[in-house]
Amino acid sequence: MGVLYRWFGRPLLRLQDSERAHLRSLKLLRFLSNNPLSRTMLKMAYKPRKSVEVEVFGQRYKHPFGLAAGMDKNAVSLRGWETTGLGFIEIGGVTQHKQDGNTKPRMFRADKTQALVNRMGFNNQGSQQISENLLKHFKKYGSPSVPLWVNLGKSKATPLEDAHTDYATTMKLLWPFTDVFVVNVSSPNTPNLRELQKDEGLIKILDACHQVNTELDTEGSGKPILVKVAPDLTDEQLEHFVHTSRSNGASGIVLSNTTLVRPQGKNSKEVKVFEETGGLSGRPLFDRSTEMIRIVNRLTDGEWPIVGVGGIMSADDAWEKINAGATLLQAYSGFVFEGPSLTKTVVNGLHRKLRDHGYSTLIDAVGKDADSP
């Protein structure tokens, strides 16, 4: 199926505008996963047969490979992601208010380099509508069989000083449906959002989110709240961010969001793509986002869960991030360039690597190379 996608699916998608191709793929996935026959075929083609179990945040994951934020902003194809075998699904970024995002075109592909540039700007239906989408889904199909995460963003219209209310309102509305919250203060496409990576804004947001946990989970200790950071921070800024997030109760970190740094284009089309404003994802992001995993693993003695995302295109990439210190992994661009078979490739590959190294669980491999330069 990977070969089929490479020969037929990808060339067809290449002929289309990137965002239109993305929306068509989402609709197709939703359609195929709702029909019993095509759902069975999807499962047979894409769902990994092996499991690589891991327990994080007191939750069980059948394997560590999940869908990164941005792919299904409005939670419209949950069954599709489950059917193709993802280990967990992150929806969003969701903002308190509905918003259209930036003007189109706003998503660009550099096929040779396997990179994307996007300046979507948190286009999403808003927290109220998305909570209704989830309610409808849960009533019809029950809760998903894999953990559901939500990426929390800030509405463009909300001033920075009120950001904490925006994040907390969305969290409250989506609380009944989700297992993990990711505070995204690192998207480059909402003006000044990255300012919230600094102490004052970050602490206010984390406090407001903990408040929601306290209000809604009177018996337990609340749901995990993670933070997602930009790869463009210096190592010193990253260290400070980790310290602030951890001491203010964040349960882990997602490394990383897209970058403002650009590689060399391999042809004139790519040069143009890399001149576009926005965040870059895919293969060129791999090294920096993996290096950040090593840094945070060392800083926290491997005791603070890290989610590795950025440029995963193969099982070798996934293994490198695990060895650097990631316990869970995600991808977005990899699905665009390698197709839905990426999940099977990664999970079966990880299973094989664990066996070849004589490890009995994934946790044995986490952070094994964190001390390498």
Stretch that binds ligand FMN, among 5-13, 47-55, 115-123, 158-166 (CB under 6 A): 115-123
Query: Does 187 participate in binding ligand FMN (rule CB under 6 A)?
Result: yes
Task: Retrieve residue 27's tokens.
Answer: 């609709």
Shortest CB 300 distance to ligand FMN, Å? 20
Shortest CB 279 distance to ligand FMN, Å? 7
Query: Does 282 participate in binding ligand FMN (rule CB under 6 A)?
Result: yes
In whole angstroms, give the CA distance from residue 183 to residue 93.
9
Shortest CB 322 distance to ligand FMN, Å? 15
Shortest CB 69 distance to ligand FMN, Å? 4
| 30 Rama class: left (phi>0) / alpha (psi -120 to 50) / beta | alpha
Task: Retrieve residue 331's tokens.
Answer: 């991808």
Nearer to ligand FMN (CB atom), residue 38 or residue 263? 263
Shortest CB 182 distance to ligand FMN, Å? 7
The residues near 316 (Cβ < 8 Å, ≥ 6 apart) are 349
256-275 residues near ligand FMN, rule: CB under 6 A: 257-258
DSSP one-letter string for 156-221: TTS-GGGHHHHHHHHHHHHGGG-SEEEEE---TTSTTGGGGGSHHHHHHHHHHHHHHHHHH-SSS-
Residue type, 275: E
Query: Does 75 participate in binding ligand FMN (rule CB under 6 A)?
Result: no
Nearer to ligand FMN (CB atom), residue 121 or residue 221? 121
User: Cα separations (Å) of 228 from 173, 183, 192, 214, 340?
Assistant: 20, 6, 15, 22, 24
Query: Does 312 participate in binding ligand FMN (rule CB under 6 A)?
Result: yes
Catalytic site includes residue 372: no
130-169 residues near ligand FMN, rule: CB under 6 A: 151, 153
Instruction: Map tokens 């609380």 to a residue.
Output: 175
Q: Rounded to the nearest 5°, which phi and psi values hold at 164? A: -55, -35
Catalytic residue among 18, 77, 187, 341: 187
Using CB under 6 A as the binding criterion, the count of chain residues that bind ligand FMN stands at 28
Contact 246, 226 (CB under 8 A): no
Stretch that binds ligand FMN, among 140-148, 216-224, 243-251, 309-317 (CB under 6 A): 309-317
Identify any residues that bridge with 109 across adjacent strands, giving them in sequence order.
Answer: 116
- Which of residues 52, 273, 292, 309 is near ligand FMN by CB under 6 A? 309
Nearer to ligand FMN (CB atom), residue 23 or residue 44? 23
Helix (H) or strand (E) holding 279: strand 279-282
- Which of residues 66, 101, 121, 334 is near ligand FMN by CB under 6 A? 334
The SS3 of residue 1 is coil
Contact 149, 181 (CB under 8 A): yes
Nearer to ligand FMN (CB atom), residue 101 or residue 215? 101
Stretch that binds ligand FMN, among 138-146, 167-175, 280-288, 363-371 (CB under 6 A): 280-288
Query: Does 281 participate in binding ligand FMN (rule CB under 6 A)?
Result: yes
The residues near 315 (Cβ < 8 Å, ≥ 6 apart) are 345, 346, 348, 349, 350, 352, 353
Nearer to ligand FMN (CB atom), residue 2 or residue 43? 2
Nearer to ligand FMN (CB atom), residue 70 or residue 222? 70
Query: Does 89 participate in binding ligand FMN (rule CB under 6 A)?
Result: no
Query: Does 308 participate in binding ligand FMN (rule CB under 6 A)?
Result: no
Q: Rounded to the nearest 5°, which phi and psi values hold at 255? A: -125, 105
Binding site for ligand FMN (CB under 6 A): 68-70, 92-93, 107, 116, 118, 120, 122, 151, 153, 184, 187, 228, 257-258, 281-282, 285, 309-312, 331-334
Catalytic residues: 187
